[in-house]
Structure 1
C-alpha cells in the first residue's frame, strides 16, 4: 500500500475503516454503506471522499454480483432501474447547485421517517408482489439514483420500496446488489466528466481494493447464514443509525 497517497496516518486509518464498513454492507450486511462518505469526510472533503470511494464501490460490486447473481428479482429491477438512470442524470445536472449538507439532511430525514413508520405501524407494510406499486418503484428508484450520485447514499430511498415487500433476505440482497452495481457503473461517466478522478484519488482507491474485496466477501458470507428474523431488524437499526449521522452532518453543514 502506498502510504504517500494519503495526507496523514489518520486519513489512511479512517479510509480503511470506511471501506471495511462499506464492504460488509455491500456484501449484504445492513445499511452501513451510507457511512462511507460521511466517515471519510471527517478527514477529507466530501467531494474527494466520494471520488475515492466510487471506484472502490465498483470493485465491491463485482465481488457482490459474483456472490449474489443467482438471487436477483428481475421484475423489481425492471421497475426501479429506469428511475435510477433519471436520478443520476438529475444529480449530474445539479452537482454544483445542491450542497452535500442538504442532500445528507434530506436522506437522513426520509430514512428516520421510514424506520419510524416501520416500527410504529408494522401492519402498514405492503403485502403482495413487486408489481403492486409501479409508481412508488419509479419514484424510489429515481431518488435512489440521485442520492447515490451525490452522496453514495441511495439505500434509504430504495429500501422504502423494497423492505415492505418482505422478500427473502437472499432475494432482497441480490436485487439490491445488482441495482447498485449498475447504478455505480453508470456514475463513473459523469464523475469522470466532472473531473473528480485525479491521479491521487485513483491511487487511494486502488490501495483499498484488497480490503474492499475481503470485506465484501465477509458480508455476503454472514448474510447467507442469517435468518429473516435477524436480517430485517439489523437492517432497520443500521439505517436508523446512519440516518441520525446524516441528519447531524446535514445540519452542521448548513
Structure 2
C-alpha cells in the first residue's frame, strides 16, 4: 500500500530531480539510483511503476536540445537489441518476488559502482578500438533486460558507446533516444503485469514537475558541471541504498 505522505515526498522529490539531472545531462545510467532509493521505502515493483512514466517524461524533456545529434548506427543497434531485452525482462519479472527484485536492484546498484571503480583503477579496460555491430546488439539486449527489472540499462549501453568514439554530446543524445524507445516499449508489459496502479499514477502526477525541473537542470549542467563531481555523490548513494536493499532481500 502506497501512502503519499510527507515521508514519501521527502524521499521521492529529491530522487526524481536527481533522475532528471542524470538522464538530462550525463547519460551514464545513474538515474536508476532513483528507483533504488524509492525501493527503500515502498515495494520494489511499485517503485519501478512510479519511475517509468517520470523517466519517459525526462527523456521527452531532454529530446529537443539533443535532437538529431545522436550516433545513428549506434542508436539503431542498441534499440534493435533492447526490444527483445525488454521482452526477456518481462518474462523474468513474472517469476520474481519482491525480495528477489530487491536483490536484483541492489546488486545492479553495487555492480555499477564497482564497474566505474574498476575502470578508474584499470582493472577493467574497455576496448580502445571500435566494437563490432554484434556487440551493440548484445549490449542492447542486456540493457533492455536490466532496464525492465531495475531501470538500469545505462551502464551496459555505455560500455558499447564509449568504444565508438562519440563526442560528449553525441553520447548523451544517443542515450536519450535509445532509452526513450526502450521506456516506451516497457509500458505495455508493465501495464499487463499490474505494475501501474491508481496510486502510482497519482504519485506521477504530483512528481512530474520535479522530473521536468531535473531534466532542465541536467541539460544545462551537461555543458557546465564536471561529470566527476556529479558521480561522486551518485556512487555514495548507490553503495548505501544497494547494500540496504540486498540486506532487506536476504533477511
Classify 1:246/1:39 alpha carbon distance in 2 versus 1 (closer, same or farther; 3 Å): closer
Deviations 1:192-250 (A, max 9, x none): 11122221211110111111112101101110345xxx33x457646644552464145
- Conserved 8 A contact 1:107-1:246: no
> Larger % of helix: which?
1
Name 2:47's counterpart in structure 1: 49
User: Normalized against structure 2, the TM-score is what?
Assistant: 0.86
Distance 2:103 2:170 in 1: 32
Question: Bigger shift: 190-199 or 119-128?
Answer: 119-128
Following TM superposition, by how much is the alpha carbon of 1:106 offset from its aligned partner in structure 2, in angstroms?
A: 4.1
- Conserved 8 A contact 2:56-2:184: yes
Name 1:155's counterpart in structure 2: 154
Name 1:15's counterpart in structure 2: 12
User: Normalized against structure 1, the TM-score is what?
Assistant: 0.85
Structure 2: gaps (5+ residues): none
Deviations 1:148-174 (A, max 9, x none): 111111112112222344531101100
Classify 1:112/1:139 alpha carbon distance in 2 versus 1 (closer, same or farther; 3 Å): farther
Distance 1:157 1:245 in 2: 22
Question: Bigger shift: 166-175 or 182-191?
Answer: 166-175
- Conserved 8 A contact 2:105-2:149: no
- Conserved 8 A contact 2:16-2:207: yes
Figure out how many residues of one structure are paired with residues of the other and give that number: 244
- Conserved 8 A contact 2:40-2:241: no
